[in-house]
Amino acid sequence: MAGLKETVANGLAAYYEYVAEHLHKLVDPLTNEQFWRKPYPYGNSVGHVVLHLTGNLSYYIGTRVAETGYVRDRDREFTEAHPPHKDEALRAFDRTVAMVVATIRKQSEEDWGKAYSAEREAEAKDRFHIFVRCAGHAYHHVGQIVYLSRELART
User: pLDDT digit string (tens) for 83-121?
Assistant: 999 999 999 999 999 999 999 999 999 999 999 999 999
What is the CATH architecture of 4-154?
Up-down Bundle (1.20)
Is the pTM higher than 0.85? The answer reads: yes
Residue (of 129, 145, 147) closest to 20 by Cα position = 145
Q: State yes or no: pLDDT of 29 exceeds 80.
A: yes
Residues 6 or more apart in contact with residue 83 via CB below 8 angstroms: 36, 47, 48, 51, 89
pLDDT at 81: 84
pLDDT at 1: 65
pLDDT at 95: 98
User: pLDDT digit string (tens) for 31-87?
Assistant: 999 999 999 988 999 999 999 999 999 999 999 999 999 999 999 999 988 999 999
